[in-house]
Amino acid sequence: MTPPETDLTGTNAVGTASPAVLSCETPTVLTQRRDFTRAARGKRVAKSGFVVQMLRRPEGEETGIRVGYTCSKKVGNAVARNRAKRRLREVARIVLPLKGQSGHDYVLIGRRDATASLPFDQLLKDMHSALDILHGARK
């Protein structure tokens, strides 16, 4: 669906591309338990707001980025868990198309008293640095 001020070609009245129509590779969401448990055997980085697990999929499997989100009951009640997962989804939506690598699975795990309460800029910085560490950009 395109916003009302955008025509079907993806440009707005000014002639620039509409942000709603810009489409980078959107990550596929992990839904099956076996994908989460497989990713748990891969690399992991713990940051102040969340934990990121990464696993490179074997050759021959589908390409693209896949991402999963999880928050245990330790994070809080359903409202707190959902808020934490919404923030993790937004962080992944912003950062993974830029720094994520095709053929990898990423799992973001929310942390108690941190994911829902840290400033959003801090979560973005944490995600950037976690992906740099996971992909070997810096140690």
Which region among 4-13, 65-74, 100-109, 126-135 has the lowest average model confidence (pLDDT)? 4-13
Cα first-last separation, the chain: 42
Instruction: Give CATH for domain 28-134.
Output: 3.30.230.10
Q: State the average pLDDT over residues 112-132.
A: 94
pTM for this entry: 0.79
d(CA 103, CA 67): 11
pLDDT per position as a tens digit, 21-72: 444 567 889 999 999 999 999 999 999 999 999 999 988 887 899 999 999 9
Exposure string over 77-97, b if 16+ CB within 10 A, otherwise e:
eeebbebbbebbeebbeebbe
Residue ranges of domains in the chain = 28-134
